[in-house]
Amino acid sequence: FCTATASHLSKMTKATETATFFAIISAIYFTFLFGIIPLPEIVQREILPVLPWWALITFGSYSLGNIGYHVYRFRDCEDAYHELMAEIQLAKEDLRSKNVSTEDNVL
């Protein structure tokens, strides 16, 4: 469903699109939560208050699972590793010569 974005038809940035999506979802959610449109008793009392937290947990598990999946499937490439380390060295020397700090520890 990632292809069904509004951005390429109207002049929307991805940020605007995300904000709009959340605004619509929130409007629908609060319409039900405040009883403007009634729902069955159990749903109203037990399910609705829990939904945002369920969404948060679902997002968290999806993120962790995605990372885990890609870590599991990652194929090491020895050559690319050495090439990358060499490039990092070059970049560090270049920056150092231009007086930019290349400290490793951020904290």
Partner 1 sequence: ASSGQDKALGATLLLSSVALFLYYTIWALIMPFVDDGHPLHEYFPDRSYAIKIPVVILLVGLTVVFTFLSLVMIKSNSSKKSVKKA
Q: Determine the residue type at 30.
A: F
How many other CB atoms sit within 10 Å of the CB of residue 105?
A: 4
Q: Smallest gap, in angstroms, from Cβ of residue 102 to partner 1?
A: 12
Query: If you ran DSSP here, which 8-state letter would residue 50 be given?
Result: G
Cα 24 to Cα 37: distance, rounded to the nearest angstrom: 16
Cα 51 to Cα 58: distance, rounded to the nearest angstrom: 10
- 100 makes contact with partner 1 (CB under 8 A): no
- 47 makes contact with partner 1 (CB under 8 A): yes
Which x/- pattern over 10-29 shows residues binding partner 1 (rule: CB under 8 A)? --------------------
Q: Which residue from 89, 92, 91, 90 is spatially nearest to 103, judged by alpha carbons?
A: 92
Q: Smallest gap, in angstroms, from Cβ of residue 17 to partner 1?
A: 24
**In this complex, which beta carbon is closest to partner 1, that of residue 8 or of residue 78?**
78
Interface residue list for partner 1 (CB under 8 A):
42, 46-47, 49-50, 53-54, 56-58, 60-62, 64-65, 67-76, 101, 103, 106-107
